[in-house]
């Protein structure tokens, strides 16, 4: 398994600056971490590690190739519970991400539903939420299959952080072969679900992993917050059963995974060594 980085290593820095930092630390792959439709003011000025979904995909690949970095995934984290509107990242952006991935040979695009931010989204019940998520993913999943790309759901919301919610979305989308799972160890645990049980239940659908461990200071937020963003400790130093996840997925043959950790270089390298000790390298 290749272990790469989320390209948010340095604050207020461009994608190129993030790639330089990752390469200097010895990493050889990274996610396309932040994407936006159209142009980005801060991205254009070099103050944000975002890439435009309307850019030439091969310019993006050339940027990664310049630093001998492989692209693990294209991230297209959306808002899939709230109503659609042009300024809300959703179906159209996911489909653009799929086209970019297909053009430059990236196998996986990652998306999720996130927490609702409108009164309308907040009042929806479980069945309504799973339905609107599946509806917004129906065309992207069809497109992913046509392009030979996988669309991976990430645990990062009130539905995807649960086994029941994931099962229902897969069911509504007819267990499409192009639809899989990016297991986020930290988000799953924070949302109130054991990531080991998620790994067992969806082992055949997991094609990428976002590695996070969390400390005891997160206990009060468990089951109340969906998505931790980043860990500030090394893998193996927290209270999540990371080794248990590794025991389940060690023989799965997952090609790529990503460290979602904010910290110094030694913390990142310590995390790699821990995953190596768990048989993931």
Return the CATH architecture of domain 2-277.
Answer: Alpha-Beta Barrel (3.20)
| 157 and 226 Cβ atoms separated by less than 8 Å | yes
Please compute the mean of the pLDDT values over residues 36-55 and round it to a whole number.
95
pLDDT at position 52: 97
**How buried is 201 (Cβ within 10 angstroms: 0-12 exposed, 13-18 middle, 19+ buried)?**
middle
Give the residue from 235, 215, 247 showing the smallest Cα distance to 275.
235
| Digit-coded pLDDT (tens) for 46-102 | 999 999 999 999 999 999 999 999 999 999 999 999 999 999 999 999 999 999 999
For residue 229, pLDDT beyond 90: no
DSSP string, 28-55: -EEEE-EEESS--HHHHHTSS-EEETTS
pTM > 0.95: yes
pLDDT at position 263: 87
pLDDT at position 20: 97
- Return contacts of 222-225, CB within 8 angstroms, 24+ apart: 222/189, 222/190, 222/191, 222/192, 223/191, 223/192, 225/190, 225/191
| Digit-coded pLDDT (tens) for 105-138 | 999 999 999 999 999 999 999 999 999 999 999 9
Give the residue from 120, 23, 122, 97 showing the smallest Cα distance to 66.
23
| Digit-coded pLDDT (tens) for 153-169 | 999 999 999 999 999 99
pLDDT at position 215: 96
> What share of the chain has pLDDT > 70, as a percent?
100
For residue 221, pLDDT beyond 90: yes
pLDDT at position 195: 98
Print burial letters for 38-70: b (CB count within 10 Å at least 16), e (below 16): eebeebeeeebbbbbbebebeebbebbeebebb
Give the residue from 20, 111, 97, 16 showing the smallest Cα distance to 52.
97
Whole-number average pLDDT of the chain: 97
**φ, ψ of residue 206 in degrees (nearest 5):** -85, 120
Flag the least confident range among 162-166, 210-214, 225-229. 225-229
For residue 217, pLDDT beyond 90: yes
| 151 and 111 Cβ atoms separated by less than 8 Å | yes
pLDDT at position 124: 98
pLDDT at position 63: 98
Please compute the mean of the pLDDT values over residues 175-203 and round it to a whole number.
98
> What share of the chain has pLDDT > 90, as a percent?
98
Give the residue from 61, 69, 60, 116 showing the smallest Cα distance to 88.
116
Distance CA 82, CA 153 (A): 17
pLDDT at position 281: 87
Please compute the mean of the pLDDT values over residues 227-252 and round it to a whole number.
96
Nearest-10 crossing angle of helices 163-172, 126-147: 60
- The secondary element (H helix, E strand) that includes residue 26 is none
């Amino acid at each position: 398994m290749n272990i790469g980085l989320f390209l948010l290593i340095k604050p207020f820095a461009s994608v190129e600056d993030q790639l330089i930092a990752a390469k200097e630390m010895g990493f050889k792959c990274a996610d396309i971490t932040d994407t936006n439709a159209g142009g980005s003011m801060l991205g254009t000025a070099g103050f944000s590690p975002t890439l435009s979904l309307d850019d030439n995909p091969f310019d993006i690949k050339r940027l990664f190739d310049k630093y001998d970095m492989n692209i693990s995934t294209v991230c297209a984290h959306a808002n899939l519970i709230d109503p659609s509107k042009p300024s809300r990242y959703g179906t159209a952006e996911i489909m653009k991400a799929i086209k970019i991935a297909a053009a430059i040979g990236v196998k996986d695009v990652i998306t999720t539903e996130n927490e609702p931010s409108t009164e309308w989204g907040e009042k929806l019940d479980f069945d309504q939420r799973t339905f609107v998520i599946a509806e917004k993913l129906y065309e992207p999943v069809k497109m992913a299959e046509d392009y030979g790309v996988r669309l991976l759901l990430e645990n990062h919301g009130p539905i995807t952080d649960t086994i029941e919610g994931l099962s229902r979305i897969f069911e509504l989308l007819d267990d499409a072969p192009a639809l899989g799972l990016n297991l986020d160890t930290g988000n799953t645990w924070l949302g109130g679900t054991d990531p080991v049980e998620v790994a067992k239940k969806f082992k055949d659908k997991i094609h990428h992993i976002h590695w996070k461990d969390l400390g005891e200071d997160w206990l009060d937020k468990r089951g109340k917050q969906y998505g931790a963003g980043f860990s500030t400790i090394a893998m193996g130093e927290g209270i999540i059963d990371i080794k248990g996840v590794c025991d389940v997925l060690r023989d799965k043959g997952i090609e790529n995974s990503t460290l979602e950790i904010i910290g110094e270089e030694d913390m990142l390298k310590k995390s790699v060594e821990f995953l190596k000790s768990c048989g993931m390298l």
